Chains A and B, each alone.
Chain A
């Protein structure tokens, strides 16, 4: 161990570091393991796989993109999200209460479609009005994704959004 002299020897070898790290790994596995039900949920997530839809990626999130000034005002009650796929934008406003979420969204350009709100293990289908707007009340908190059915004029262009925690 080529170290500067001086300080009392609190310098440890790489081997001792590795041992302490392994010990901490065992402690983490014991005290803070991945919960079994989450492992199962992650495995089950595969069943949400869509092969016939276009992905609308998250392009704006007021939580991630807001400036620091608005952060100091405390928890936001409203969150704006925006997803984009090819020619479709989905804007979504999420309002929160302690246990559930309200959603108001709009498809731009408006299309005649139905929107499935996929959250947890459940799916709620809502109608879209002629301006492309839709809404849902009392959606449970947790990971959520929207699936927008194909426009009748253009079959095969169903769209699913990225998953976000709401």
Chain B
């Protein structure tokens, strides 16, 4: 674990610095906040399987809220958790309101997968290896789409870019920080099972969930 600040695990005080500077009107700090937390906010909406239009509303409303609340955060260092909580409330509201909401089914999600992205990394992925990776990513994404809701919500958040902290994930799902680790392990196992074509049909096999706790020897906070 490096002290590098280039891989998304910047210390908390920097978040509060960004909030303070944005509050003074510094647009660059605001942009930094957007880049740092937009993956988290988006993954909250997507975890609830809202349609694209509704996910967009959740995303935009959450950021607009923050604009007005910058000076009112009780803990500016936890602005990520605040955003996650706000996005969750907004997503639940929209899910209830059935505004433009059509709950996305697996097929829709899978189809969404083929919307292109234009990340810079993409350009580098031209070779044969990339093609193989794409096939694997496809399989992985489909297997992920078939997971139970709880697992999908949790994993979708955990794999946001940049990776959110457990505190932020806990805020997004309204679940105790302590249960994230064990649930994550269980959900990754299910994902692995599905990937192996080992779907719910094998559910008759007893689940050894009791032993889960023993396997969690450490958990970073």
Residues of A in contact with B (beta carbons under 8 Å apart): 1-4, 6-7, 10-12, 14, 17, 20-21, 23-36, 38-39, 41-43, 45-46, 48-50, 55, 61, 63-64, 71, 74-76, 79, 96, 98, 141-143, 145, 160, 162-166
B76-99 CB mask vs A (1 if < 8 Å, else 0) is 000000000000011011101111
User: Which B residue sits closest to A75, measured CB to CB?
Assistant: B98
Q: By DSSP majority rule, is chain B's interface helix, strand, loop, or mixed?
A: helix
**Cα of A74 to Cα of B96 in the assembled complex, Å:** 9
User: Which A residue sits closest to B137, measured CB to CB?
Assistant: A27
Q: Does B149 contact A (CB under 8 A)?
A: no
User: Which B residue sits closest to A46, measured CB to CB?
Assistant: B30
Contact across chains for A31 and B68 when beta carbons are under 8 A apart? no
Contact across chains for A12 and B161 when beta carbons are under 8 A apart? no
**Cα of A108 to Cα of B92 in the assembled complex, Å:** 29
Q: B72 to chain A: closest CB distance in Å?
A: 7
Q: A67 to chain B: closest CB distance in Å?
A: 12
Query: Which B residues touch A49, using CB under 8 A?
Result: 25, 67-68, 70
Residues of B in contact with A (beta carbons under 8 Å apart): 22, 25, 27, 30-31, 34-35, 38-39, 42-43, 46, 54, 56-61, 63-70, 72, 89-90, 92-94, 96-100, 109, 112-115, 117-119, 122, 134, 136-137, 140-141, 144, 155-156, 158-161, 163, 184-185, 188-189, 191-193, 206, 208, 211, 214-215, 217-218
A48-B64, A160-B68 known; A23 and B140 CB under 8 Å?
A: yes
Query: Which B residues touch A20, using CB under 8 A?
Result: 188, 191-192
User: Which A residue sits closest to B114, measured CB to CB?
Assistant: A31
Contact across chains for B113 and A32 when beta carbons are under 8 A apart? yes
Contact across chains for B61 and A163 when beta carbons are under 8 A apart? yes
Contact across chains for A64 and B93 when beta carbons are under 8 A apart? yes
Q: B31 to chain A: closest CB distance in Å?
A: 5
A42-B59, A43-B34 known; A50 and B68 CB under 8 Å?
A: yes
Q: B63 to chain A: closest CB distance in Å?
A: 4
